[in-house]
């Protein structure tokens, strides 16, 4: 049996939602292990487009169990709205399909106010946060001031914790951030109500997941954002507030590393980034705009236009090293079909030096000039290709060149946004099936 972790290899928005949805067919349980509703995983089934923010992408399979684990920070209003929206569309009709960890931390209204106020005060130096309170919620978790899902199920516990924390937050909001504080009773009643509506889903997710692994169930661990937004290993401080790398699956889901069978990384056939931060291959010209329009590169959560550029191999290799990747799922290669010539960044020039690794210094990365290798494009549609051999020769060469430069197998090629527009060269859940080359 296999337990697979899916992570992003770039700065998020790589198409993880589609890959998780596709591989869920072979899994029994899908576990979301970090992040919050700043993530937006888009899944297309037939002509229906569904955007998920908190619920794992496996929600579209009625027989699969979805777990929101302890590493996630949850906005309960958003979660309840998402459940309601899925049910309206005929999904997620069985309560048993969802489990929410009692140890997951909650995003409180003051977290969102702090997030927005700090960004406003930073002005031009802002990070580019989504303003959904993710960072402040993780801060409170680390400061041991957080309120967890299990807390709002016990009235006296919740009342005591909220009273203590809210007194401090109101002082901070009013005195330091020049913003409004919150009324205790109003917040208490709102979140107590959320707790009553969510309690039927709440349980010990770590105990559940480990028991399922012991019974031989196949687990798919789903991350949010991407490797280079990891709070420890990303382009700090332009990062998210959690561990987006594969190690986060263990702490965020409460399973030991020996339980993980393989880690699969998802990378676009080009590179995108939302918000501030260094981006060596960014194209601030007509080519970048063309990639944005062809790829519909606008944030699923915020609608913000994504910055676009050519594929960055040092960035991809960094993700392979940090996550111990066994394979790459390459997405949106169809977007490149309109170009007669493509470029691949194979290294950086930095102050007269050739760098093949991503420098840890953000200032150094901002100064890096990409070293490009030009390769021919294919100028042909790919959406109907279902075998690797069906792809134009130039497309196959592009994929093989990525494998050569990274030393890692491209085990899946996505040729369109729909579930069936995929070439699965190797299925990580079915080791008895030989790969197609």
Hey, which residues are catalytic here? Answer: 13, 41
- What is the C-alpha separation between 130 and 59, in angstroms, rounded? 24
Determine the distance from the C-alpha atom of residue 117 to the mean position of all C-alpha atoms in its chain, rounded to a whole number: 25
Phi-psi sector, 113: left (phi>0), alpha (psi -120 to 50), beta: alpha
- In the DSSP assignment, the letter for residue 270 is S
To which H or E segment does residue 402 belong?
helix 393-406
Q: How far apart are CA 301 and CA 320, in angstroms?
A: 27
CB within 8 Å of 12: residues ≥ 6 apart: 39, 224, 225, 226, 229, 240, 244, 274
Give me the phi and psi of 167, to 5 degrees please.
Answer: -60, -40
End-to-end CA distance of the chain: 24
**299 φ/ψ angles, rounded to the nearest 5 degrees:** -55, 135
Strands 202-203 and 98-101: parallel
Task: Measure the CA–CA gap between 263 and 252, rounded to whole angstroms.
Answer: 15
d(CA 165, CA 366): 39
CA atoms within 13 Å, Cβ hemisphere of 59: 31
DSSP state of 418: B
- Bridge partners, 266 (sequence order): 8, 329
Distance CA 312, CA 227 (A): 13
Which residues on neighbouring strands pair with residue 271, listed in sequence order? 309
C-alpha 195: how far from chain center: 26
Rounded CA separation 209/69 (Å): 9
**35 DSSP 8-state letter:** B
């Amino acid at each position: 049996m296999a337990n697979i972790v899916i992570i992003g290899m770039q700065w998020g928005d790589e198409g993880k939602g589609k890959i998780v949805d596709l591989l869920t067919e072979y899994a029994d349980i899908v576990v979301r292990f970090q992040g919050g509703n700043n993530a937006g995983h888009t899944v297309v089934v037939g002509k229906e487009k569904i955007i998920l923010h908190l619920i794992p992408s496996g929600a579209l399979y009625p027989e699969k169990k979805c777990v929101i684990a302890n590493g996630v920070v949850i906005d309960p209003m958003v979660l309840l709205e998402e459940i309601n929206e899925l049910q309206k569309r005929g999904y997620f009709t069985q309560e048993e399909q969802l489990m929410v960890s009692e140890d997951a931390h909650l995003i409180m209204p003051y977290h969102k106010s702090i997030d927005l106020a700090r960004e406003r005060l930073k002005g031009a130096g802002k990070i580019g946060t989504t303003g959904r309170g993710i960072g402040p919620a993780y801060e409170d978790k680390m400061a041991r001031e957080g309120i967890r899902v299990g807390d709002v199920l016990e009235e006296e516990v919740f009342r005591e914790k909220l009273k203590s924390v809210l007194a401090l937050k109101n002082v901070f909001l009013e005195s330091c951030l020049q913003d409004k504080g919150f009324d205790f009773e109003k917040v208490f009643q709102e979140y107590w109500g959320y707790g009553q509506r969510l309690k039927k889903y709440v349980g010990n997710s770590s105990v559940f997941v480990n028991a399922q692994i012991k019974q031989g169930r196949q687990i798919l661990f789903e991350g949010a954002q991407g490797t280079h937004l990891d709070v420890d290993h990303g382009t700090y401080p332009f990062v998210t507030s959690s561990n987006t790398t594969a190690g986060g699956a263990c702490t965020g889901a409460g399973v030991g590393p020996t339980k993980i069978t393989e880690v699969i990384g998802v990378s676009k056939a080009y590179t995108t980034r939302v918000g501030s931060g260094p981006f060596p291959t960014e194209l601030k010209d007509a080519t970048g705009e063309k990639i944005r329009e062809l790829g519909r590169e606008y944030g699923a959560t915020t609608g913000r236009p994504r910055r676009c550029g050519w594929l960055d191999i040092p960035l991809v290799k960094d993700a392979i090293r940090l996550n111990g990747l066994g394979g790459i799922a390459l997405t949106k290669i169809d977007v490149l079909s309109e170009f007669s010539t493509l470029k691949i960044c194979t290294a950086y020039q930095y102050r007269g030096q050739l760098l093949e690794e991503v420098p840890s210094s953000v200032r150094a990365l901002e100064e890096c000039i990409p070293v490009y290798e030009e390769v021919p494009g294919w100028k042909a549609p790919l959406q109907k290709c279902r075998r690797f051999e069906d792809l134009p020769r130039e497309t196959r060469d592009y994929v093989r060149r990525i494998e050569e430069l990274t030393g890692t197998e491209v085990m899946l090629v996505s040729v369109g946004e729909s579930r069936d527009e995929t070439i699965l060269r190797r299925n990580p859940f079915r080791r008895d099936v030989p790969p197609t080359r």
